Structure 1
Amino acid sequence: MTSSDLWSRETAERYDAGETETSSPAVLGPTVDFLAGLAGDGRALEFAIGTGRVGVPLRERGVPVVGIELSEHMAAVLRRKVDEDTLPVTIGDMATTVVPGGFTLVYLVYNTISNLLTQDEQVECFRNAARHLEPGGRFVIELGVPPLRFLPPGQVAVPFDVSERHLGFDTFDLVEQLLVSHHFSREGDGDGEDNGGAGHYRRAESRHRYAWPAELDLMARIAGLERERRVADWDGSPFTEDSGKHISVWRKPA
């Protein structure tokens, strides 16, 4: 098993409800268009497929999809949406687990490569992608750009969401290249103060290893892949110094 945090049954059961925005047609439409275009007439393999937020609609688009997922609880939620014959899922980690057959596309979305907490494991993830790709196939990663330029001297925390029902911020270990995402989510309709209202706040956190785009390019090179494209979002907008994330595509030489 890798160093990734293992998602619990409780987290898996509430995951989809917390991802309504990223599951909207405005987000999923361009995502599925982008991935389907790369898969072509071949098969796609999703590392860390989770509850099938992307894999299920990609399969509905007509692309045969296979998944690898570390959490049995997340896979159980996916299984309520689609059966095993339609979308097979293997329980295992994305750095070492191997599934049968070749793929024209392997993809890893929503910052999930950062769940691997060591550089060695992230390199192995690239190698595992290359292992599954047919010649000419592509590996795609969606990953945020570390917001370190927003850190004043001596500060280790950066907020990423301050809204009525959610407070989120990241704390950074700049020596080990690690971050912890902290979430305070409001539940119920009360004010949550002193437990006097119907609402309360649920706290959660997750650990990640952040990586720069250039570092990922080197990992790809180690795995025998060549960078083909880097954009700022699934709509293909240009990646610039102000981009908060990137979609990167590497190709296995024919």
Structure 2
Amino acid sequence: MDRDPVWSMTQQELWDEETARGYDTPGSGMFSTEVLGPTVDRLAGLADGGPALELAIGTGRVAVPLHRRGVPVTGIELSTAMIGQLRQKVPEAEIPVVQGDMATATAPGDYTLVYLVFNTIGNLLSQAEQVACVRNAARHLRPGGCFVVELMVPGLRVLPPGKTASVFTAEPGYLGVDTYDVVEQLLVSSHVTFGAGREARIGRTPQRYVWPAELDLMAQLAGLQLESRHADWEGGPFTADSPSHVSVYRRPADPATG
């Protein structure tokens, strides 16, 4: 069977001008106060007065409100179009961005906090790239600093035997479906938005999913230690039924400074 053509698309093609223009949903979804408030509160606390680096900063969904809380934020972002949307909100002098791959690009200085939100590490489609990304995060951390990852837990438990797809959201006007390749740890998320009559629009994003224990090993290889794992930004307990997690990894403090 031929491979789905979505896997041949580059990240620049996936995160193009059209996607960037429609990415923000002010006041709703990922941009709602209920979602952003706890996220920014937790990250501001972990920054502890120091500078933060967001990998794959996108349009600044988290970076802009975090910056407004007084946290100096720098970003790394591959997509020219996403950076363009961010620049409509804040100038380069306020939130500088290095254009490049989050697995390899280097931002100047060092940071008390490096973070990756909303499954973004899954945009790297191989384990080797994901390991490189975690190592890149660790290189940017000051001793004692932390790396925070928000990531889904693969929903394989809901797949019936022999089936490869599951519906993750079904509501009026929208259908979300994940199609899994469980051998390669790959999935395609399909987002179908229905218009009037027979009209429908589909967006598709390929990802490589990461198990929590696998992420812990990636962090260990980068010299980081798991400090906490919760089900959400508000600190809810992580259980076997949690659909996602927020994990905090700490770079050990320099023994010379304590």
Q: TM-score, normalised by structure 2?
A: 0.92
Q: Where does the alignment leave 5 or more consecutive residues of structure 2 unmatched?
A: 1-8, 254-258
C-alpha contact 2:224 2:249 (8 A) present in aligned 1: yes
- Relative distance call for 1:60 and 1:77 in structure 2 (3 A) is same
**Which among 71, 82, 86 is matched to residue 74 of structure 1?**
82
Residue 197 of structure 1: aligned partner: none
Partner amino acid, structure 1, of 2:211? W
Partner amino acid, structure 2, of 1:227? L
Cα-to-partner distance string for 1:105-129 (whole Å, 9 max, x where unaligned):
0000000000000000000001000
What is the number of equivalent residue pairs in this alignment? 243
| CA–CA separation in structure 2 for the residues paired with 1:56 and 1:34 | 15
Q: Secondary structure at the match of 1:66?
A: strand
Offset of residue 88 of structure 1 = 0.3
| CA–CA separation in structure 1 for the residues paired with 2:106 and 2:82 | 19
Residue 64 of structure 1: aligned partner: 72
Offset of residue 165 of structure 1 = 1.4
Residue 3 of structure 2: aligned partner: none
Offset of residue 183 of structure 1 = 1.1
Residue 244 of structure 2: aligned partner: 245
Paired residues for 1:5-84 under 5 Å: 5-6=11-12, 7-17=15-25, 20-84=28-92
Q: RMSD in angstroms over aligned alpha carbons?
A: 1.2
Residue 93 of structure 1: aligned partner: 101
- Relative distance call for 1:129 and 1:4 in structure 2 (3 A) is farther
Partner amino acid, structure 2, of 1:38? L
C-alpha contact 1:67 1:89 (8 A) present in aligned 2: yes
Q: TM-score, normalised by structure 1?
A: 0.93
Q: Percent identity, aligned pairs only?
A: 60
Offset of residue 20 of structure 1 = 2.5
Partner amino acid, structure 2, of 1:56? V
Q: Secondary structure at the match of 2:31?
A: coil
The answer to whether the aligner puts 1:186 opposite 2:194 as a matched pair is yes
Q: Which moved more, 1:11-20 or 1:208-217?
A: 11-20
Offset of residue 22 of structure 1 = 1.2
**Which among 127, 133, 153 is matched to residue 145 of structure 1?**
153
Residue 111 of structure 2: aligned partner: 103
C-alpha contact 2:147 2:248 (8 A) present in aligned 1: yes
| CA–CA separation in structure 1 for the residues paired with 2:151 and 2:31 | 17
Offset of residue 4 of structure 1 = 6.2
Q: Secondary structure at the match of 1:16?
A: coil
Offset of residue 201 of structure 1 = 1.0
The answer to whether the aligner puts 1:214 opposite 2:213 as a matched pair is yes
Partner amino acid, structure 2, of 1:253? P
Q: Where does the alignment leave 5 or more consecutive residues of structure 1 unmatched?
A: 194-199
Q: Secondary structure at the match of 1:179?
A: strand
| CA–CA separation in structure 1 for the residues paired with 2:38 and 2:10 | 28
- Relative distance call for 1:210 and 1:250 in structure 2 (3 A) is same
Q: Secondary structure at the match of 2:24?
A: helix
